[in-house]
A and B are shown apart, each in its own frame.
Chain A
Amino acid sequence: MQTADAIVIGAGIVGASCALALTNAGLKVLVLDRGPVAGGTTGAGEGNILVSDKDPGPELTLALRSRDLWFEMQADVGDSFELEAKGGIVVARLDDAPLKAFASKQRSAEVDAIEVGDKELHELEPHLTRDITSGILYPQDSQCQPMLAAAHVLQTVRQRGGEVVTGATVTSIKTVDGKVVGVETSKGSYSSPIVVNATGTWAGEIAQMAGSHLPIAPRKGFILVTAPAPKLIHHKVYDSDYVANVASSDADLQTSTVVEGTRAGTILIGASRERIGFDGRMNVDILRRLAAQATSLFPILRDIQLLRAYRGFRPYAPDHLPVIGEDALVSGLWHSAGHEGAGIGLAPGSAHLITQQITGVTPFMDSTPFSPRRFQVGVA
């Protein structure tokens, strides 16, 4: 395919969802990636589809819709990516008042947030430390296997007439009179009036190629993986610091824990957030903090062996909101990027929103807060 109705750059979950939504809207879509499918941030994610960690506001509205779209996507593509509404439990170690206040705000925004007391909490999670006596249950929080999701979604795109070209590095975005006309890659050139930039951490570089700019920076996250164990943990269990952390702009290292079991029996411990450049080195101290926090939540984990740890770079914008919409400086260039640690969860919602905008359908929500314009026009 040398000419497409739309080109999506990036074969991660954000790009794959976008390609599927555009294909389903009747467009002939070409997906390009410099690496393989799910080779970037998607391949280093836990597969979180969360509503529990979001304040009422545009991101929560998007997250709620996106969560439902995940299940619609499963119905469309097939039950092939381990999608499961396993539910999340947020606990507080000291004072649970902020937690309850946060949950009550979320309830007003149509989030299921159920207060659970001591007895019920330990029925839900029998191995949780007895020091913790209350928590909030979020039944909507879900989980998928993001690599499989991206791969199966792209397979469906192919079956419906789209094309996926991997190993094709985009070297330039071709524009005429400020309008996108196509892209140049290491595997040849392709023309299209629409280019969707779904390159996550690298989205700034693509914007620059087109003569625009986008302030997306990488944030490093570690995930510990333990040796397989019998089923010890039934939900995603978070420290309530996690909620405070996501909204933080503080560049110091912060860690807080998300602990969960997987189908393969391994336990994942994640959510360290450290904002540094693309230095991929292992940081033993972060591993220690994650382990200490996880074992204080679940003392039974003390004897479980660490199997490996992996790092991912999470793309984020200065205001911690994703960038979804048309570039203000280059017409025909669209962005769906900067989802930070929520890219898996927000992928189908972002795809839906951008497809509605591209095809001229009234968007299901006000997309202004996500517009790239906020970083491109009237900024000193």
Chain B
Amino acid sequence: MIAVIGAGPAGLSAAATAAERGEKVLLIDSSPRLGGQYWRHLPSNWNDDRSLHYDFSKAQALFDRVLTNPLITRHSNAHVWQAEKNDGVFTLFVVRDGVEEKVIADKVILATGAYDRSIPFPGWTLPGVMTPGAAQAMLKSHGVLVGKRVVVAGTGPFILPVAAGLADSGAEIVGLYEANNPIRWLLNLHGFILNPSKIAEALYYMKKLRKHRISIRFGKSVDSTSKGFATVNGKRVDCDVVAVGWGFVPDLSLAGILGAQLKVDGDGTVVVAVDSHQETSVPGLFAAGESTGIGGSTLSMIEGVIAAGGKGKFARWRAQVFARGLQRVYPVPTNWQAKLNDQTIICRCEEVTLGDICSSVDELGAENGRTAKLFTRAGMGLCQGRVCGRNVSEIVAAKRAEKVHDSERMGGAQRPTAGPISLGELGDGLQKKF
């Protein structure tokens, strides 16, 4: 049996492909519906509001293939909190609707996706400041518009559909700010030539934005926010919501727990190392989608197919060229630390400020993200450093005029548990003889 973890573009492609090749598949996903974060939706808004999803027809086709294939079993509202591999067999500990169960699999395909990368700035923890992913999730899965006057900022192609989606649903986009300069597109011309569908996608969103009279301001970003306004390159912009995103961070918890080799991608993002079959360093453990490098839904779907034993290596190469281009076009500006002050919160769970982190370096001798964490509690809270870990490492390194070591980046991506479990369920596992 093949366990596919994650039901976004990569996981759905992997599950459908594997089942169509005659394999029994268990598809495990944390949400109640297929689609993952990318095709997040409410049952009611899926068909009613196709405009929220650019590639609606692709998604629909995958949903149909997965839902109609009798070889695929689905565990929804389920997450794997812990995993082991013994004697060539994987044991997954799954919490499903709050109850733990054990799943045995011969092969595991990780398609666990990514979450928004946040960079702190003064005021980033105020109510009304969020990531574009959060704004979009509210809209897609709760039908809630986050505000009336919205600033969308950060970098990367993802901010365009978020702005367009919010505008379609009635928000006024008072500013759309892309931190990088359009001249950088020249860095990715070959990516577009190889992937003409990406030109069509870009034009689709540009047209939508034009319809709503939204223009993209390049080379600008949010300096700070206060109640009722944001400051963008020194100018006040009145708004009630600010959505800022700086690309994505892959979720590597399970890959790390199972001992798969990780590596640091060109832009400092930690990803799972895979071979040409999408297999990790752990035999039988495969990874597809954003966990192998941020590349978008097209690349994710191709990787999902390959991980399940299907074909598509040329298509993958083409899409990877485009993805690598995006990394060059949309780097996180290196000056983000210059906008911080001593009172700026860096770890929001434990309310640790820049000043706290700096004094852990100056006075207590913190030398890297880990020691700064032990001294300040940055990254010890509910999110376990998923939001701040990388930022803390980079602040400490900058303060010491060093670069963050690859081993620290990879260590920071390791988590002892991949998801929550209650102590009651955990202890009950003894009686269940897990």
Binding site for B on A (CB under 8 A): 36-39, 43, 147-148, 151-152, 154-155, 164, 166-167, 224, 226-228, 264, 266, 269, 282, 284-285, 287-289, 291-296, 301-310
- Kindly identify, within residues 62 to 107 of chain B, every residue whose CB is under 8 Å from any CB belonging to chain A: 82, 84, 93
Task: Judge whether B226 is part of the interface by a CB distance below 8 angstroms.
Answer: no
B187 at interface by CB-CB < 8 Å: no
Cβ-defined contact, A288 with B430, below 8 A: yes
Does any Cβ of A come within 8 Å of B364's Cβ?
yes
Stretch at the interface among B1-9, B143-151, B377-385: B377-385
CB nearest to B82 among chain A residues:
A284
B interface: dominant SS: loop
Task: Contact check, B423 vs A304: say whether CB atoms are below 8 A apart.
Answer: yes
Instruction: Collect the chain A residues with CB atoms within 8 Å of residue B172's CB.
Output: none
**Interface set, chain B 376-434, CB cutoff 8 A to A:** 377, 380-382, 384, 415-417, 420-424, 426-430, 434
A residues in contact with B283, CB < 8 Å: none
Which B331-389 residues have C-beta < 8 A from chain A?
Answer: 350, 360, 363-368, 370-371, 374-375, 377, 380-382, 384
A307 touches B423 (CB 8 A): no
- A37 and B420 form a contact (CB under 8 A): no
In chain A, what residue has the closest Cβ to B81? A306
**A291–B368 Cα gap in the complex (Å)?**
32
Besides A264-B350, A307-B420, 8 new A-B residue pairs in contact (Cβ under 8 A), listed by A number: A36-B367, A39-B370, A151-B364, A151-B375, A167-B367, A307-B384, A308-B417, A309-B417
Given contacts A36-B367, A282-B416, are A303 and B424 in contact (CB under 8 A)?
A: yes
Q: Which of A164, A289, A309 contacts B365 (CB 8 A)?
A: A164
Chain B residue numbers with a CB within 8 Å of A289 are 427, 430
| A295 and B365 contact, Cβ closer than 8 Å, known pairs A282-B82, A284-B82, A289-B430 | no
B257 at the interface (CB under 8 A from A): yes
Smallest CB-CB separation from A308: which chain B residue?
A: B416
- C-alpha gap A167/B375 in the complex (Å): 18
Look across to chain A and name the residue whose beta carbon is closest to the beta carbon of B84: A284
Q: Is the CB of B93 within 8 A of A284?
A: yes
How many Å from the CB of A291 to the closest CB on chain B? Answer: 4
- Give A38 to B375 CA distance when docked, in angstroms: 9
Identify the closest chain A residue to B427 (Cβ).
A292
Q: List 10 A-B contacts (CB under 8 A).
A: A36-B365, A37-B364, A37-B366, A37-B367, A164-B365, A285-B430, A289-B430, A291-B426, A306-B421, A306-B423
Instruction: Looking at the assembled complex, report how far the CB atom of A165 sits from the nearest CB atom of chain B, in whole angstroms.
Output: 10
Q: What's the nearest-Cβ distance from chain B to residue A17, in Å?
A: 16
Q: Is the CB–CB distance between A295 and B423 below 8 Å? A: yes
A226 near B367: Cβ-Cβ < 8 Å: no
Q: Which of A43, A151, A227 contacts B382 (CB 8 A)?
A: A227
Instruction: Please give me the residue from chain B that is nearest to A225 by CB atom.
Output: B380
Contacts of B422 in A (CB 8 A): 302-306
Is there contact, CB below 8 Å, between A37 and B426?
Answer: no
Smallest Cβ-Cβ distance to A305: which chain B residue: B420
Known contacts A289-B430, A302-B424; decide if A147 and B375 are in contact (CB<8 Å): yes
- Distance in angstroms from B42 CB to nearest chain A CB is 27
User: Is B421's CB under 8 angstroms from A38's CB?
Assistant: no
Chain A residues whose C-beta falls within 8 Å of the C-beta of B364 in the assembled complex: 37, 148, 151-152, 155
- In angstroms, how far is the closest chain A Cβ from the Cβ of B102? 10
Chain B hits for A307, CB < 8 A? 382, 384, 417, 420
> Contacts of A39 on B, CB cut-off 8 Å?
370-371
Q: Which B residues are within 8 Å of any A CB, using their own CB?
A: 82, 84, 93, 257, 350, 360, 363-368, 370-371, 374-375, 377, 380-382, 384, 415-417, 420-424, 426-430, 434
- Are A226 and B423 in contact, with the CB atoms below 8 A? yes
The minimal Cβ–Cβ distance linking B77 to chain A, given in whole angstroms, is 16
Q: How distant is the Cα of A166 from the Cα of B367 in the complex, in angstroms?
A: 9
List of B residues within 8 angstroms of A284 by Cβ: 82, 84, 93, 429, 434
Q: Chain B contacts of A301 at CB under 8 A?
A: 423-424
CA A19 to CA B147, docked complex, whole Å: 58
Chain A residues with Cβ below 8 Å from B374 are 38, 43, 147
B11 to chain A, nearest CB (A): 24
Contacts of B420 in A (CB 8 A): 227, 305-307
A282 to B287, CA, bound (A): 22
Q: Using A166-B365, A309-B417 as known contacts, say yes or no to A37 and B424 having CB atoms under 8 A apart.
A: no
Across-interface contacts of A269 in B (CB, < 8 A): 423
Q: How far, in whole Å, are A282 and B81 apart by their CA atoms in the complex?
A: 12
CB of A133, distance to nearest CB on chain B (Å): 23
- Chain A residues lying within 8 Å of B423, measured Cβ to Cβ, are 224, 226, 269, 291, 294-295, 301-306
Known: A291-B427, A304-B422, A310-B416. A36 touches B382 (CB 8 A): no
* Distance in angstroms between the alpha carbons of A104 and B342 in the assembled complex: 53
Q: How far is the CA of A164 from the CA of B350 in the complex (A)?
A: 29
Distance A166 CA – B368 CA, assembled complex (angstroms): 12
The residue on B at minimum CB distance from A302 is: B424
What's the Cα separation between A37 and B429 when bound, in Å? Answer: 38
* Cross-chain contact A306 with B382 (CB below 8 angstroms): no
Q: Which of B350, B422, B423, B426 has the most CB of A within 10 A?
A: B423
Whole-angstrom distance between the Cβ of A187 and the nearest chain B Cβ = 13
Q: Which residues of A contact B429 (CB under 8 A)?
A: 284, 288
Q: Are A155 and B434 in contact (CB under 8 A)?
A: no
**Which residues of the partner chain B approach A302 to less than 8 Å between Cβ atoms?**
422-424, 427
By a CB distance below 8 angstroms, the chain A residues around B360 are: 151
Give the residue name and chain of the A residue nearest to B363 (CB). Answer: A155
Query: What CA separation (Å) do A38 and B363 show in the bound complex?
Result: 14
CB atoms of A292 and B375 under 8 A apart: no
The interface residues of chain A lying within 8 Å CB-to-CB of B382 are: 227-228, 307
Contact B366–A36 (Cβ < 8 Å)? yes
Q: Once the chains are docked, how many angstroms separate the CA of A250 from the CA of B430?
A: 22
Given contacts A148-B375, A228-B382, contact A37 B427 (CB under 8 A): no
For A293, list chain B residues within 8 Å (CB).
427
Q: How far is the CA of A266 from the CA of B371 in the complex (A)?
A: 20
User: Within 8 Å CB of A287, what residues of B?
Assistant: 426
CA distance A105 to B383 in the complex (A): 46
Nearest A residue (CB) for B380 = A264
Report chain B residues within 8 Å CB of A152: 364
Q: What are the 9 tightest A-B residue pairs by CB atom distance, in nearest-first order?
A: A302-B424, A292-B427, A151-B364, A291-B426, A291-B427, A147-B374, A305-B420, A36-B367, A36-B371
Contact indicator B421/A305 (Cβ below 8 Å): yes
Q: Pick the contact of A308 from B377, B415, B427 — CB < 8 Å?
A: B415
Q: Specify which chain B residues have a CB less than 8 angstroms from the CB of A43 in the assembled complex.
A: 370-371, 374
Output the nearest chain B residue to A227 by Cβ-Cβ distance: B382
- Complex CA–CA separation, A297 to B384 (angstroms): 27
Tell me the smallest distance from the CB of B86 to a CB of chain A, in Å: 11
Which residues of A sit under 8 angstroms from B84, Cβ to Cβ? Answer: 284
Cα distance, A294 to B428, chains bound together (Å) = 12
**A151 contacts B365, C-beta separation under 8 Å:** yes
Interface centre among A39, A266, A284, A295 (most CB of B within 10 A): A284
Q: Quick one: closest B residue to A154, CB to CB? A: B365
- Contact check: which of A151, A295, A310 meets B427 at CB < 8 Å? A295
